[in-house]
A and B are shown apart, each in its own frame.
Chain A
Amino acid sequence: MAITLTEPAAERVRTFLENRGKGVGLRLGVKTMGCSGMSYVLEFVDDVNPEDEVFEDKGVKVIVDKKSLVYIDGTELDYTREGLNEGFKFNNPKEKAACGCGESFTV
């Protein structure tokens, strides 16, 4: 399994990294908090840690720590627009339930 990006998501990430002027890639992960157990983490990466797995898709390095990978392996990261709001979306096959707001989930 691996982590993949849709073309729109990859394009946004490349642009964001370029604008930021530094950083090796994008970190995907989970945090144990939120109303439904866990919440997603989406961050720029300046330093890759020894416990990280590094994937590459469409020219973007995706960095996931091994603990998080268990929960999000197989995820496709998408970039979409909803009204005036736009942002990234985790399409996680392991996700069983999300809270109403979608900010946290359980596997």
Chain B
Amino acid sequence: MALLQIAEPGQSTTPHQHRLAVGIDLGTTNSLVATVRSGEVTTLADANGKHLLPSVVHYGEDGVQVGEEALKYSVSDPYNTIVSVKRYMGRGHADVQGDDAHHSYHFADTDSTVPRFKTRRGEVSAIEVSAEILKVLKQRAEESLGGELVGAVITVPAYFDDAQRQATKDAARLAGLEVLRLLNEPTAAAVAYGLDTGNEGVIAVYDLGGGTFDISILRLNKGVFEVLATGGNSSLGGDDFDYAISQWIIEQAGESYRETPESKRLIMQQAKAAKEQLAEAQSVDITIDSGDFHWQGTLDRDTMEELIRPLVQKTLMSCRRALRDAGVDNEDISEVVMVGGSTRTLLVREMVAGFFDCELLTGIDPDKVVATGAALQADVLAGNKPDDEMLLLDVIPLSLGIETMGGLVEKIIHRNTAIPVSRAQDFTTYKDGQTAMAIHVLQGERELVSDCRSLARFELRGIPPQVAGAARIRVTFQVDADGLLIVSAREENSGVEASVDVKPSYGLSDSEVETMLRDSIEHAEEDMHLRMLREQQVEADRVIEALDSALAVDGDELLSEKEKTAIAAAREELLQARDGNDTNVIEEKIKQLEAVCEDYVARRMNSNIKSAMQGHSIEEYASDSEAGDS
């Protein structure tokens, strides 16, 4: 009989429910949903037959509108109409302060780490805005497919960090969508072209969307994709072409220009229209009519190309860097997959073909290619195909490592390493008798712990006390296909081990993350003192333990009663200080105890040498040393 899973109250599935899964390209400018039906990928259209859903959300008097409906308000009601929300995903409040040149929103003044847009329907975060878009796509898919979705593959730019990926997952959760997997956009594009069934070789995926640029270098080997390197720019895309053209219009208009949010938006719209027409036409007439600002002019293709050339040049610089990361040359690239609406611009195709010096793949609509690949992957993940059909290797976007002495980060898995992956590195103890080791897992490219992102902390305890450097502690980092990191530490001599599953901020609400961040800042100094205290306590334990074992061996033999009493008193004082919380007192008492024991230690040394030499003549040692010298 079929195996059942526990459902949420009232959510039991009906028998024989088809495993309906979709791929979603959640784009900066446009979003799209696709699915596999009867073995074929189709993008799903709305009631009006439109496939692309503009990623625009309008918070209106009588409800929330998404897509074309919302786009209508982008000029007349700019503060309540959120466009290009993907730019704000997973970004902090401070990150968005400099962006006002492009966008004219009112941000709420909160101490929240997440920027919140002020709209007439209250404050909303980027996650909530994205969720509105996903809700519409989900509903469209369920109506088209006649059933509830089991889940979706949602694509993200390859260089999205964990916060941004998490924000995307949160948006999906808010929209009631199960995320089967987040898939890198360029990887999805390569899947769409069926390059997995093609020849072996190295390909590049050039993805210039509305708001983001992504370059990925993939290697195809026996039908398997391996992402060799990724690079790009999260703030460069077709929007910037529009912006450059709109700046040209404003420059041409000169003193007659009146800046209002409406006129800015209108000029952007006209600039975008002009750019699209110039893919066909040689020149285009532009008319702006906004309140008390009127302007009319002509833009020809050459002029536009000069305006956007520096931007395209920027993308090629990212391409060069990605090639270097991948360790391949331009001539190793056999094909370039073109993705994103902005690759329709002729200058882009010309310059990219020139740079890579090879054929460009433009056969699939560049707006739909990512969603197509995501749908294919979703179909596999939903269990509608044999598991071995397609195996995708992804890469780690940021290096993973642990903290070592001096607040430095030792990277264990470097960025752009293909997952799943497992790497181990050996560490050792720093102090004699150290019985515990704090393992602090970090993510980032910087050298200092303070500049990286803290993912988790755990302790390996029960290390047998040994001299510093004798313990062999193997720390293993393991990342599975879903990007879940497991860090384990094992002391090889004794076999004690500890491990932690790292889900970077998974399952935490925004406020919880905020609290964690605030706590880490507020308690920074406290933590530091605690750490020093802990280290000093470990040291005190080591000293006492060494003393006790020595006394047991030859205390009675070498010490007078008076000396023994003095040592016992000093030992007792240290024991008391150790259980207190004053680091300096513990340190002082350790020194005192060591001073009291100085004679005893010297006597032990002599007695040890005596017993070692007993039964041997001095001559033996002399001849040994002579032999050694010769």
Contacts and interface: CB of A to CB of B under 8 A. Distances in A.
Interface of A: 13, 16, 26-27, 31, 33-35, 39-47, 80, 82, 84-90, 98-99, 101-104
B3 interface: yes
27 contacts: A26-B6, A31-B12, A33-B15, A34-B14, A39-B12, A39-B14, A39-B15, A41-B7, A42-B6, A42-B12, A43-B9, A43-B10, A43-B12, A45-B9, A46-B9, A85-B3, A86-B3, A87-B2, A87-B4, A89-B1, A89-B3, A89-B4, A90-B1, A90-B4, A103-B1, A103-B2, A104-B15
Contacts of B387: 84
A38 B12 CA distance: 13
Given A43-B8, A44-B6, 5 more contacts: A34-B15, A80-B3, A82-B3, A89-B1, A89-B4
B9 A27 contact: yes
B549 interface: no
B5 interface: yes
Nearest to A21: B507
Contacts of B4: 40, 42, 87-90
Contact of A101 (B2, B7, B10): B2
Contacts of A99: 15
Interface string B1-28: 1111111111110111000000000000
Contacts of B16: 34-35, 101, 103
A34 B2 CA distance: 13
B2 A102 contact: yes
Contacts of A45: 9
A16 B3 contact: no
A98 to B, nearest CB: 6
A65 B527 CA distance: 53
A102 B51 CA distance: 39
A29 to B, nearest CB: 8
Prevailing SS type, chain B contact patch: loop
Contacts of B6: 13, 16, 26, 42-44, 88
A16 B15 CA distance: 23
Nearest to B11: A43
B15 A88 contact: no
Closest 8 CB pairs of A and B: A102-B1, A87-B3, A103-B15, A34-B15, A102-B2, A41-B12, A103-B2, A88-B4
Interface residues of B, number: 16
B12 A88 contact: no
Contacts of A35: 15-16
A78 B487 CA distance: 33
Contacts of B15: 33-35, 39, 99, 101, 103-104
Contacts of A42: 4-7, 12
A85 B9 CA distance: 23
Nearest to A27: B9
Contacts of A102: 1-2
A88 B9 CA distance: 16
Nearest to B14: A33
Contacts of B3: 80, 82, 85-89
A38 to B, nearest CB: 9
A89 B15 CA distance: 14
Contacts of A33: 14-15
A39 B2 CA distance: 11
Contacts of B9: 27, 43-47
B388 to A, nearest CB: 12
A97 B300 CA distance: 76
A82 to B, nearest CB: 6
A33 B13 CA distance: 11
A42 to B, nearest CB: 5
A35 B367 CA distance: 42
Most chain A CB within a 10 A radius of its CB, from B1, B5, B10, B387:
B1
Contacts of A103: 1-2, 15-16
A41 B411 CA distance: 49
A99 B3 CA distance: 14
A60 to B, nearest CB: 11
B382 to A, nearest CB: 13
A81 B11 CA distance: 23
B181 to A, nearest CB: 16
Contacts of B14: 31, 33-34, 39
A11 to B, nearest CB: 13
B559 to A, nearest CB: 57
Contacts of A82: 3
A88 B1 CA distance: 10
A16 B1 CA distance: 22
A80 B5 CA distance: 11
Contacts of A27: 9
In the complex, which of the residues B6, B7, B8, B10 has the most CB atoms of chain A within 10 Å of its own CB atom?
B6
Contacts of A13: 6
Contacts of A40: 4
Contacts of B1: 89-90, 98, 102-103
A82 B10 CA distance: 26
Most interface-central of A90, A98, A102 (chain B CB within 10 A): A102
Contacts of B5: 42, 87-88
A44 B12 contact: no
A35 B16 CA distance: 9
B2 A44 contact: no
Contacts of A44: 6-9
Interface string B520-558: 000000000000000000000000000000000000000
